[in-house]
Amino acid sequence: MIKSELVQRIAAQNPHLYQRDIENIVNTILDTIAGAMANGDRVELRGFGAFSVKSRPARTGRNPRTGAKVEVDEKHVPFFKTGKEMRERLNTD
C-alpha cells in the first residue's frame, strides 16, 4: 500500500472528512516520525511497532565487479520492530 492508497482508504471509512484534510494528517504523522528519527529518537506506536535508528560502523567493503577494497563510511539506517499485537495479527491462521 502506498501513501495515496492509505489516504483513500481512510477517506472511504470516514466520509465526513475531506480527503485533503486526511492527506494533511497522514503527512503530519509521517513527518513527525521522520523528524523524531532524524533527531535520534525512538518512536513507539503501541500494538503496531517501534521505529528507531541503528548506527552501522565504518567498514572495509569490496567492489563486487573488480574485487577492490572500498572504505564504507559510518551510516545510520532506519529500523522497524513490529509490536506484539501486530505479530499476533499477522500470524493467525
pLDDT one-digit tens code per residue, 17-71? 999 999 999 999 999 999 999 999 999 999 999 999 999 999 999 999 999 999 9
Instruction: Check whether 88 has a pLDDT greater than 90.
Output: yes
What CATH architecture applies to the domain 3-91?
A: Irregular (4.10)
Domains in the chain: boundaries: 3-91
pTM attached to this predicted model: 0.78
Half-sphere exposure of 1 (CA within 13 A, CB side): 8
